[in-house]
Structure 1
Amino acid sequence: MEAFLISTGVVALGEMGDKTQLLAMLLAVRFKRPAPIVLGILVATLFNHAAAGAVGGWVASALGPDVLRWVIGISFIAMAGWMLIPDKIDEDEAVSARYGVFLTTVVAFFLAEMGDKTQIATVALAARYNDLLAVVAGTTLGMLIADVPAVFVGDKIAKRVPMKLVHAIAAGIFAVLGVLTLFNVGKLF
């Protein structure tokens, strides 16, 4: 349960103001069809985070516990710094709508998540916790918690939520996870 809850919280906070949240808003404004957009986000996230989680599981089994602790701890601290850098949607990530709203969303989100903060966090969380299903379910729920409201509310969220504060909180959580991991503090996180 711990892996699920931590994964959900970290990704939900980390996703605020992220390029995929901006992409969700953009798709909602462009297509005005929330159901296929939300389903596309779900499918893309499940596939992307399952692959990322599998990589994290492999990393955990390939490295010894001491090396793994340092890799994960430093990764979480690096994620804390990365959280403080705001995201923008890259022009080259735009996907043509000729394939329909659902498929456009799946492809756009899958590609946007490649190498993104939440994908890297999923790898680290899967390496930290030996529960792939809980991590993938948690990170997917975290994505949906952040992105589904963006679909329904659009840019009103961006105008009312201070993204710098959300990014600072998420960075703090990643930093704490990193320090606790480096100092090998039991199962707090």
Structure 2
Amino acid sequence: MDALLSAFVACGLAEIGDRSQLLVILLCMRFPGRQGRVLAAAGLAALVSTGIGAAGGAVVHDMVPFRALSLMAALALLSAGIGSLARPKTPKLTVSPRLGAFAGSLAVLLAAGIGDKTQFLTFALSARSASPVLAAIGATLGVLAAAVPAAMLGRRFVHVVPLRAVRIGIGVVLILAGLGFGLDALRLI
């Protein structure tokens, strides 16, 4: 259960104001009235991306000592926190209208999700907890928790949510969590 909750919180926070969330907004604007299909594609893309990360974490779990895995989780949280402090580049959206809302969104979001901080967080948390399925489910739900309001509000999302302040707050929280994990792994606290 620890893997589910920690992946949900960490990935949900890391996604707020991230490129993937902005892509969901752009895709919903590109395919008006098809927010459900865009969200379904976002969920599947997140499941594939986090599933790959969780599977990698499961492989590493038995090969690396627990303290090193905790340090890796600390680095993932620190990296996500620092990434949240940086302003994301506005993504460019090139989707062929012939692909449709679901397939086009899936292709774009899969490309954005591979190698993303969410995948790294899922990898690290899965490796630390030895629960890859729960880590992948939690991370996917976290990504969707950030995507749903973006899809429902569309362009208004960036006007309603003070993204700069939210990203700074989330960055600080993730950095503090990463420092806590790191100090605990080094047995300094």
Alignment of 1:7-156 (within 5 A): 7-32=7-32, 33-91=34-92, 94-156=94-156
User: 1:160 Cα deviation (Å)?
Assistant: 1.6
TM-score scaled by length of structure 2: 0.88
Q: Which amino acid aligns with 1:3?
A: A
Q: What is the alpha-carbon distance in structure 2 between the residues aligned to residue 95 and residue 136 of structure 1?
A: 27
Per-residue deviation, residues 125-161 of structure 1 (Å, max 9, x unmatched): 2122221121111111111111122112102111121
The one-letter code of the counterpart of 2:37 is P
Determine whether 1:183 maps to 2:183: yes
5+ unaligned residues in a row in structure 1: which ranges? Answer: none
1:11 touches 1:121 (CA, 8 Å); kept in 2? yes
Distance in 2 of aligned mates of 1:43 and 1:159: 27
Separation of aligned partners in 2, 1:75 and 1:44: 20
Equivalent AA in structure 2 for residue 34 of structure 1: Q
Mapping of residues 156-171 of structure 1, within 5 Å? 156-171=156-171
Write out per-residue CA displacement over residues 160-184 of structure 1, whole angstroms, 9 at most, x where no aligned residue: 2111222223223322332222222
Q: CA RMSD in A?
A: 1.8
**How far, CA to CA, are the matches of 1:35 and 1:21 in structure 2?**
15
Gaps of 5+ in 2: none
The answer as to whether partners of 1:12 and 1:145 remain within 8 angstroms in 2 is: yes
Q: 1:90 to 1:155 in 2, by over 3 A?
A: closer
User: How many percent of aligned residue pairs carry the same amino acid?
Assistant: 29
TM-score between both structures, scaled by the size of structure 1: 0.88
The structural deviation recorded for 1:29 is 0.8
Alignment check: 8 A CA contact 2:73 2:121 kept:
no
Counterpart Cα distance in 1 of 2:173 and 2:55: 23
What is the letter of the counterpart of residue 88 of structure 2?
A: D
The answer on whether the counterparts of 1:44 and 1:106 sit within 8 Å (CA) in structure 2 is: yes
For the 8 Å contact 1:126–1:135, the answer to whether it is kept is yes
